[in-house]
Structure 1
Amino acid sequence: MVSVSRFPDLDSLIDASTKRFTETISAIHADPVGGVNGDGTARVVLTGGTAGIRFLEGLRGSGIDWSRVSIFFGDERNVPVTDPDSNEGQARAALLDHVAIPEANIHGYGLTGADMSAPVERYEQTVGIAAPEGFDIHLLGMGGEGHVNSLFPDTDAVRETERLVIAVTDSPKPPAERATLTLPAVARAQRVWLLVSGAEKAEAAGELVRGASPEAWPAAGAKGREETILFVSEDAAAEV
């Protein structure tokens, strides 16, 4: 079941979600065997988009011990990390370059614009090794048609049932080539938090809460093992 947390605007949504994030990570760190992997280190999947980047910027002064946080990315465009379109690059600029996180804790896809087969296979192996029991928090944005990560409606990617990481070569939203975590990978997260703002996302938010078909509305298939929260601003909550 999806829990809904409504906010007047994006600013208040970011304030509340970053506060909850900080408290959740701090609780994991307070327990020597805390977190889904039982070692006191939090595994977090980051998302891009307007709300996702604002969220990351809001964590700069959070006081989190980033040496005990392992970072993953929900998806990535097939570009080098130095490209302005890179999700990892944007996350570094918004947060990771501003906090004391060891480089070894940042698990990027390593895409370069070339063939994605080997990087995708390596990333799936990385997820299995660095987060063997899954993620503590998987952050997600959502598109107006309900896409999450690079899982778009009525595509082979959203229908994937076994692989944790796949290549996408036909994304309807440019660029066409991407790598993405799948819905089975999302399902390995204890907590799935969707950060949604904008009137153009109201229909998709409604379908998410009503439990629509994930094939038609991919966000409806994004569910955490312990909790699934939709953080939504009023302009996107008209049908919630």
Structure 2
Amino acid sequence: MSNGRRVIVHPDKSALAAAVAARFITTLIDVIDEYGHAAVVLTGGTMGAAVLKSVRKSKARQTIDWSRVHFWWGDERWLPRGDAERNETQAREALLDVLGLDGSTVHAFPASDDGLTLDEAADAYAAELARFGLDGAAYPPFDVTFLGVGPDAHIASLFPGRSGIREAVRTVIPVRNSPKPPPERLSLTLPVINSSHRVWAVMSGADKASALGLTLADASVADVPASGAQGRDATVFFVDRDATAEVPESLMATELFWTAADSTDEF
């Protein structure tokens, strides 16, 4: 299996969400069958929730023993527990609340009303990651890490021109003065994101076209954080047609850029 970057294009947002959900279910079945458990990093945003809603609607959802899946998050907004803008809240409403989980496999970031400072919250989540690391590792082996990509090409809460994208030691960082509200956030760092076997970025809409084009052109990671995303085994950008509007013709080569019907490879 190659860890080269791949782009899979779907006709619209609805088809995109359904296709990613189907591939996610299939991947979980395979991973659990081989290892007995799976670890997934979720993302927020419109497409993050849309994919989880599509999983919830799928009859194939019933084929998975969800108690064997650990859920983590790539970043979180520093807001009170249950706030509608928290990524955790959106994921729970979209899927997690219907799975009957006992809570031990859902690893949400601390909330602003948990009695911790932002820095203490970052340290607490880093400790939680380390608690599930194997053989002293600082974080568990992730099977799938979902990423949203902003119009500015940020991933998680790692923004262009900010020091967070260059962090190579810490696993979790506090984010202040975010260019996107709310100003305070928590985020995994790029080495942790890239430790995942599969990194799946899901992008929809013409406002993401510039970010996708710059990412595929291998722009500077400091300026285009999404260009630094690379899974250990696979890096896939699942996109709709609108998001491809600014992808240069030179990057439309078939070995890099496929429509959904072009490939049945597992990644």
Task: Give the shorter-chain TM-score range.
Answer: over 0.9
For 1:57-96, list aligned pairs within 5 A: 57-60=53-56, 61=58, 62-63=61-62, 64-96=64-96
| Structure 1 segments unaligned to the other structure (5+ residues) | 35-39
Structure 2 residue aligned with 1:220: 227
Residue 194 of structure 1 aligns to which amino acid in structure 2? A
Q: How does 1:139-154 map to 2 (within 5 A)?
A: 139-154=146-161
**Residue correspondences, number:** 233
| Partner SS for 1:58 | helix
What percentage of residue pairs aligned between the two structures are identical? 41
Q: Which amino acid aligns with 1:228?
A: T
| 1:177 partnered with 2:184 | yes
Distance in 1, Cα, partners of 2:14 & 2:233: 26
Equivalent residue for 1:158? 165
Q: Is the 8 A contact 1:42 1:70 kept in 2?
A: yes
The higher radius of gyration belongs to: 2
Query: Is structure 2 residue 94 aligned with structure 1 residue 98?
Result: no
Equivalent of residue 17 in structure 2, options 7, 14, 39: 14
Paired residue for 1:117, among 110, 119, 143? 119
Distance 1:30 1:84 in 2: 35
Q: Which residue of 2 aligns with 1:37?
A: none
Residue 187 of structure 1: which of 181, 194, 216 is its match?
Answer: 194
3-state secondary structure, aligned to 1:135: coil
C-alpha displacement of 1:146: 0.1
Runs of 4+ residues over 3 Å off in structure 1 = none
Distance in structure 2 (CA, Å) of the matches to 1:131 and 1:96: 23
For the aligned residues, what is the CA RMSD? 1.2
State the secondary structure of the residue aligned to 1:16. helix
Amino acid in the other structure paired with 1:237: T
Instruction: Point out where structure 2 has 5 or more consecutive residues left out of the alignment.
Output: 135-139, 248-267
Correspondence for 1:56 = 52
Residue deviations 1:173-206 (CA, integer Å, cap 9, x gap): 1111000011011011000000000101101101
Matched residue type, 1:18: A
Aligned counterpart in structure 1 of residue 128 of structure 2, from 119, 126, 129: 126
What TM-score do the two structures reach when normalised by structure 1? 0.93
Q: Secondary structure at the match of 2:70?
A: strand
- Structure 2: how far apart are the matches of 1:107 and 1:131? 13
CA distance in 2, matches of 1:131, 1:178: 23
CA-CA distance at 1:58 after TM superposition:
0.9
Q: Is 1:208 the counterpart of 2:215 in the alignment?
A: yes
Deviation of residue 131 (structure 1)? 4.3
* TM-score, reference length from structure 2: 0.84
Q: Does 1:168 align with 2:175?
A: yes
